[in-house]
Amino acid sequence: MKEQTLALIKPDAIAKRYQGLIIHDILEAEFEIKAMKMLYFTKDQAQSFYIVHKEKDFYEPLIKFMTSGSIIALLLEKDNAIADYRKLIGNIDMKLAAEGTLRKKYAESTRHNAVHGSDNSENAKKEIAFFF
């Protein structure tokens, strides 16, 4: 059964012109791109999207980072999309990420980690609805 998930290509990856490579890797992993758009997060949008992290120490730096440049939102679909995309992106710490994962290949650091992916089906539905 096909499942959907949200992927974001973050400002650091776009600034380094990695978006085409990341999209290529997503397609090579047999995801279907059902929708895609490039946009700038306003501060209010970023705060709303990341509200679950509001009390965490990285919240304000995250908001500043995510509003620092354009992002690309992608609606991806395939069997086991959430788990498969989480595997494709790799560990949040690029040093611990497996070879060939998006974060191993394109991340700058734990905070500037190139991509986002929904972590469960409930969040995927909310995140997809946020953008699409």
The pLDDT value given to residue 52: 87
CB atoms inside a 10 Å sphere around CB 36: 15
Interatomic CA distance for residues 92 and 127, integer angstroms = 19
The pLDDT value given to residue 80: 96
Q: Model confidence over 39-77: pLDDT tens digits?
A: 999 999 999 999 988 999 999 999 999 999 999 999 999
Domain containing 24: what range? 2-131
What is the average per-residue pLDDT within 30-44? 97
| Number of domains making up the chain | 1
Q: Taking all residues of the chain, what is their mean pLDDT, rounded to a whole number?
A: 96
Interatomic CA distance for residues 59 and 38, integer angstroms = 23
Residue 1 has pLDDT above 90, yes or no: no
Helix (H) or strand (E) holding 96: none
The pLDDT value given to residue 106: 97
Q: Of 24, 53, 112, 116, which is the active-site residue?
A: 116
Contact call for residues 92 and 111 (beta carbons, < 8 A): no
Q: Which residues neighbour 64 within 8 Å (Cβ) at sequence distance 6 or greater?
A: none
Q: Model confidence over 10-19: pLDDT tens digits?
A: 999 999 999 9
Percent of the chain past pLDDT 70, that is, above it, reads 100
Q: If you search the block for the tokens 């973050």, which residue do you land on?
A: 10
Helix (H) or strand (E) holding 43: helix 43-49
What is the average per-residue pLDDT within 105-131? 95
Percent of the chain past pLDDT 90, that is, above it, reads 95
Residue 131 has pLDDT above 80, yes or no: yes
CATH number at 50 reads 3.30.70.141
The reply to whether 116 belongs to the active site is: yes
Query: Residue 15, CB half-sphere, CA atoms under 13 Å: how many?
Result: 14
